Structure 1
Amino acid sequence: MRGKLISGVVLTLTFVTGCTSSVDRVGGEAAPAGSPAGSASPSTPGAPAPTSSGPSAPATRSSSPEAAATRTSGPATRESEIRRTNWPNAVIRSLEFCGESDDSVSFRNGSNGLDVPCRILPGGARPVYADFVTEEPANAPKTEDALVLVELGNPDAARRQALVPVQLSYNGKERYARPVILGDDSSPTGDRVMTFISYRVVDQSVQATVRKLDGSTETRRWRTIDFAGNWERY
């Protein structure tokens, strides 16, 4: 299992689709709850990132996860495999949060289609990318990971959200969920739900702005506490 977060990885975020950053491996940020759902398909281009000043430096990433790397005077860095994920139609293994008996959850058009559905990237949320999950064995090739928002429950009933770290298998083809960061339970009647407004990976932690049941917002932080990758709030 991968359990230690790799230090030194800082993920910068923005609410504005298409804004760019000079930091490589830049991801997106969750859109406000209730915003129109957007496609996370990698086929939709976003705004280009600024090019590097070095003659052969790798291209930087856009804050939009769908954006292709911009060209530089040297060869462009190949887009990471995790960024190629078609999230609305992804197959994610070990995602126990969704309550399925199968080993994997298959999303179609953003939902697993059950009576109590699990939806991925609801409300126009976007994935965040960073190399923040430790590879095992230690000499395994480093790969980028993703942090995605998932919601369990019907829109008109009790629902719960979770942030799900997703990593590639060693063959680079399958996507596995790591231990999730749970949002608060909804109100007993289901009319009030805690939502993740934004989230990011900074150094060895996950930081998020959440809207609580009473409508107020606060910033929360989590870090891993063991080799299994479980999280604690601090």
Structure 2
Amino acid sequence: MAAVTPKKKLFENFALVAKALASANRLELLEALAQGERGVDGLAQASGMSVANTSHHLQILRGGGLVQSRKEGTQVIYSLTDEKVLTLLTGIRNVAEQHLAEVDRIVRENFDSRDNLTPVRRDELLGLVRSGEAMVIDVRPPAEYDAGHIEGAVNIPLESLPERLSKLPHDQEIVAYCRGPYCMLAFDAVKQLRQLGYRARRLEDGFPEWKVDHLPVDR
């Protein structure tokens, strides 16, 4: 029997990463952690899973080198191991969008159909903010905003939008963003704003993609 080569051993370890990613639930947990570190209870709430099931998936993600943990009192706090995980997630999404017909159909029917205006690119938004032509609103929950947000963005969670309308300018474009390109919070915020006469668009993706592009962020 031939000896296992070092290359074969490497591929076996690479497969651990692929195995850790091979679950819709675990991909959703990674999206939640891309907003900032969080405890198991918070991740269970964000994903709609039980605490026990969430912990099980987190152990698999940690075994694949995708997340890390630390103790804070009696809590275990999880975070992504580094920004390369975000790059990996973006790569998976891009391949699926370009080569899986079902993904293309879902995007067209459920996302593109909701918004016929071209989203704002990251570099475009940077220029609009620096020239004073746009106001940026972060429609994620406050805890996610506090963990990190686009520099200068104002936190207006979607459910708070109606009561904050008087603070929004009519002489600037309003750009909304949330967790990523398929986060419905930004779609819904932009729809509400347009119905009330505001000039509004959404960012092409979300805070994690902005951060991994090394654009200005605040905490």
TM-score normalized with structure 1 length: 0.24
- Name the structure where strand makes up a greater proportion of residues: 1
- Name the structure where helix makes up a greater proportion of residues: 2
Higher relative contact order (CA 8 A, sep 6+): 1
TM-score normalized with structure 2 length: 0.25
